């Protein structure tokens, strides 16, 4: 099914400002003596995570790790089946962890992932998402830091893709199915 780009819903300037605000909220809440392990969910969150951690103050001990999970494949709808392709390199036991995700909609992938990470006994486990499609929620997940709530339309840019396309866009745009 062919797709085309629609209108910009979040400009790069608006995104940059909100990322700076989120970093401030995280820094305010962080235990300055224990530091943070920031876990990015590849591939979509890589852009957001990079900008976010660069806005955190240098007095925080920030470690970055990545996981790769998927429930979309090449579709615009979740399959409901969560697959882990790449796991963390380091233990998170006893550490303060923030999971950074590009978008949460049904909550199924994130809920599954949080259950997996909770079993690894972190001191704390929080979630930071750039985009929240709350009206699509099928299972409840707690989002501690949210960039933007958006309506239930498929979006791309700033790390978000459609079948691998348009991750590189600096703005976030709607996708239109032709």
Q: Examine residue 167 and state whether it is found in any structural domain, yes or no.
A: no
Q: Examine residue 44 and state whether it is found in any structural domain, yes or no.
A: yes
Q: Examine residue 162 and state whether it is found in any structural domain, yes or no.
A: no
From the list 51, 102, 105, 132, the catalytic residue is 105
CATH of the domain at 99: 3.40.50.2020
| Tens-digit pLDDT profile for residues 105-134 | 889 889 999 999 999 999 999 999 999 999
Q: Examine residue 29 and state whether it is found in any structural domain, yes or no.
A: yes
Give the phi and the psi of residue 46 in degrees, each rounded to 5.
-60, -40
Tell me how many domains the chain contains.
1
Q: Examine residue 40 and state whether it is found in any structural domain, yes or no.
A: yes
- Which among 98, 75, 28, 68 is positioned nearest to 177, based on CA atoms? 75
| Tens-digit pLDDT profile for residues 64-113 | 999 998 765 544 455 566 778 899 999 999 999 999 999 998 898 899 99
Q: What is the pLDDT of residue 77?
A: 54
| Tens-digit pLDDT profile for residues 24-40 | 999 999 988 888 999 99
Q: Examine residue 2 and state whether it is found in any structural domain, yes or no.
A: no
Q: Examine residue 1 and state whether it is found in any structural domain, yes or no.
A: no
Q: Examine residue 76 and state whether it is found in any structural domain, yes or no.
A: yes
Q: Residue 122: exposed, middle, or buried by beta-carbon count in 10 A (0-12, 13-18, 19+)?
A: buried
User: What is this structure's pTM?
Assistant: 0.90
Q: Which structural domain range is residue 96 located in?
A: 11-153
Q: Is 152 a catalytic residue?
A: no
């Amino acid at each position: 099914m062919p797709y085309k780009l629609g209108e910009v819903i979040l400009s790069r300037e608006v995104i940059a400002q909100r990322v700076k605000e989120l970093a401030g909220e995280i820094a305010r809440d962080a235990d300055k003596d224990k530091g943070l392990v920031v876990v990015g969910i590849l591939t979509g969150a890589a852009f957001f995570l990079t900008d976010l951690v660069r806005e955190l103050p240098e007095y925080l001990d920030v470690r970055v790790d990545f996981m790769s999970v998927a429930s979309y494949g090449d579709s615009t709808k979740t399959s409901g089946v969560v697959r882990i392709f790449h796991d963390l390199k380091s233990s998170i036991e006893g550490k303060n962890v923030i999971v950074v995700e590009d978008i949460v909609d049904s909550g199924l992938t994130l809920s599954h992932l949080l259950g997996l990470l909770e079993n690894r006994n972190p001191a704390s486990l929080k979630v930071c998402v750039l985009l929240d499609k709350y009206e699509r929620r099928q299972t409840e997940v707690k989002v501690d830091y949210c960039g933007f709530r958006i309506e239930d339309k498929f979006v791309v840019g700033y790390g978000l893709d459609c079948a691998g396309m348009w991750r590189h866009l600096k703005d976030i745009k709607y996708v239109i199915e032709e």
